[in-house]
Amino acid sequence: MRIPLLAAVLAVSFAGGGCKNRDKGGTISELRAPKDAQPWESGKAIAFDDSYTPTAINLQGRAPNDVTDQQLFQARLGHADIVMLVRIEQVWGRGRYQGRQDQFVEVEIGEFLLGNLPKDAPERLLVEVGGADELPGALKGEIMLLFLRWDAESEPPFHHHLMPANDELVALIKAMVKHAQDEGVLNAKGDETSAKKRGRKGKRKGKKGKGQADSPLELDEPTTNGGQFGGESGGKPGGGAGGVDPAHEPGANHDPGQPPPPTGPRPDESTGLQNLGEEPDAPVPESGE
């Protein structure tokens, strides 16, 4: 069931307010990556998996699967080129779209929460949805969040993830984007500032040698104490860093009578959209020397 406030806002958004200067034909069309799009990094495939989450994320959850969802949410928000609200207009099961054994949803573009599509983009998109499970027909009419990252070498030229939208999640994303704008990371349109892009390119050049593989977004198995280590290598979303002494890991010395502290992203305005794709250095344990 959709929350009434979100449904009311989206009724205005999908009436055309979020799709100015775009193809009004409503035809299914593929996007083109902008010329200044950042190169795709294969390590981001765990977050932009061309699939969907069937249930809403639990931002306050402490269970291992909730923490994993929170980590992935932070990774998607921090590395997405575009975050937008879409409405599912049609669900195409396996074999139902041109005989192909892939699954698709046709979505109508609504409000942009981060970034924007090119002006010549259509109002509706055909999005392939991977995964072993069959897409339920009940998805039709649902409002969802679409996280998109460009991949100019792919066909279509992007990777994505779909997940259910609700008031709490949309408000959180807007607050984080506002925080990033206040910090000068994003401009008023929600795009990265030129200075931020230059700084990120310089940092990548300094960290990666020729032929070095992209750093992956890796989520490890839940730990026995209920936490979740992993995220991106080198202190990425999730906070775990390979090679760190377990005594220094978060929650290692917590009271056994209390739930372990969460190690995933915290759902507040400081959860790191201001880092927007950067890869902060991993915490270094104190050496005793």
Q: What is the pTM of this model?
A: 0.65
**Which is more confidently placed, 275 or 66?**
66
- The per-residue pLDDT for 239 is 36
Q: pLDDT tens-digit profile of 19-55?
A: 444 444 444 556 889 998 999 999 999 999 999 999 9
Would you say residue 287 has pLDDT above 70? no
- Minimum mean pLDDT range among 111-115, 131-135, 235-239, 259-263: 235-239
Would you say residue 285 has pLDDT above 50? yes
Q: At 64, which helix (H) or strand (E)?
A: helix 64-79
| Cβ 263 vs Cβ 251: under 8 Å | yes
- The Cα 265–Cα 200 span in angstroms is 22
Q: What is the mean pLDDT of the chain?
A: 72
- The Cα 83–Cα 116 span in angstroms is 8
- The Cα 246–Cα 235 span in angstroms is 15
Rounded mean pLDDT of 168-190? 91
| Cβ 234 vs Cβ 281: under 8 Å | yes
Rounded mean pLDDT of 232-258? 41
- Minimum mean pLDDT range among 119-133, 168-182, 187-201: 187-201
Q: pLDDT tens-digit profile of 92-149?
A: 887 767 667 789 999 999 999 999 998 888 899 989 998 868 888 899 999 999 999 9
Q: Give residue 244's identity as a one-letter amino acid code.
A: V
Q: Where are the alpha helices (DSSP H) in 148-272?
A: 167-182, 194-207
Rounded mean pLDDT of 51-80? 94
- The per-residue pLDDT for 243 is 37
Tokens of 155: 């066909």
- The Cα 72–Cα 130 span in angstroms is 17
Phi first, then psi: give them for residue 179, nearest 5 degrees: -60, -45
- The per-residue pLDDT for 288 is 55
